[in-house]
Structure 1
Amino acid sequence: MTVKAIGPYEFPAKDRQEIFGDDQLVCVHWDDNMFYYAGATFRVPRSMKWSDFKSQMIDPWAAADPDYRPDAATDWRRDDEPIDPKPDDTITDLGIVHKGLIRFRVK
């Protein structure tokens, strides 16, 4: 649906990267899950290690679904590109940008 503005929109976005300093927003989506039809967004330091991100952000969020098993999460992707995150990789090392999307499945 097309939106017609009544005037120019000249306001900077309130969620742009520079507002977050050393942090950034990371979106997470559990593909093929009926319980979570939409993803979640987390504010995290860019230097956060993958193991901490998964255990402190993804696991508690996904655990609301009784089918979630942390060790069964697989097929990790950054947007549509497959990634193989190692525990000591940082969010930056993995190429995850501000408002980037991490996707996964559980087998």
Structure 2
Amino acid sequence: MAVAALTTYEFPAKDTADKFPAPLLYIGWEDHKMFCAPFCVPVPPDMKFGDMVSNMLPGMFSAHPDFARIDWATTEWFKSGQPWKPENDKSMADNGLGHKDVIRFRTPGLTGLGGSCF
């Protein structure tokens, strides 16, 4: 819903990158409703994308029984809702990721608890 302000509505943002230990990244797993919304985590811009996948995602998503069955080679990635192909050996910044970006991944063949999301 649009907001109609009665006067000028200008204010400094309170959640700029300089207020966090690293740029914030929202990460979500499509078709897995055990996680109702993307996680928001600080991710250093010089971290390699592959390191984020192998070192950070297990801590966020491994409680789901499907996580151990993910074939990362067939995983589909999305950035701000658009198909996207990250490069594992490049940094987050080199992959074009910055403060408050949203990425999601879909794991073909894995569609939630017992195939509940189809």
1:18 corresponding residue in structure 2:
18
Contact 2:23–2:100 (CA<8 Å) still a contact in 1? yes
1:20 maps to a residue whose letter is F
Q: Kindly tell me the number of residue pairs found equivalent between the two proteins.
A: 106
> Where does the alignment leave 5 or more consecutive residues of structure 1 unmatched?
none
After TM superposition, where is structure 1 displaced by more than 3 Å over at least 4 residues in a row? Answer: 1-5, 8-14
- TM-score of the two chains, using structure 1 as the length reference: 0.79
Q: CA deviation at 1:56?
A: 1.7
Residue 84, structure 1, aligned to residue 112, structure 2: no
Q: How far apart are the structure 1 equivalents of 2:71 and 2:2?
A: 42
Q: How far apart are the structure 2 equivalents of 1:40 and 1:69?
A: 19
Higher fraction of strand: 1
Q: 1:99 to 1:81 in 2, by over 3 A?
A: same
Q: How far apart are the structure 2 equivalents of 1:60 and 1:70?
A: 15
Where does 1:66-105 land on structure 2 (aligned, <5 Å)? 66-69=65-68, 71-73=70-72, 74-105=75-106
Q: CA deviation at 1:2?
A: 7.9
> Where does the alignment leave 5 or more consecutive residues of structure 2 unmatched?
109-118
1:30 corresponding residue in structure 2:
29
Contact 1:78–1:103 (CA<8 Å) still a contact in 2? yes
Q: How far apart are the structure 1 equivalents of 2:69 and 2:52?
A: 12
Q: How far apart are the structure 2 equivalents of 1:97 and 1:50?
A: 12
Taking every aligned residue pair, what percent have the same amino acid on both sides?
37
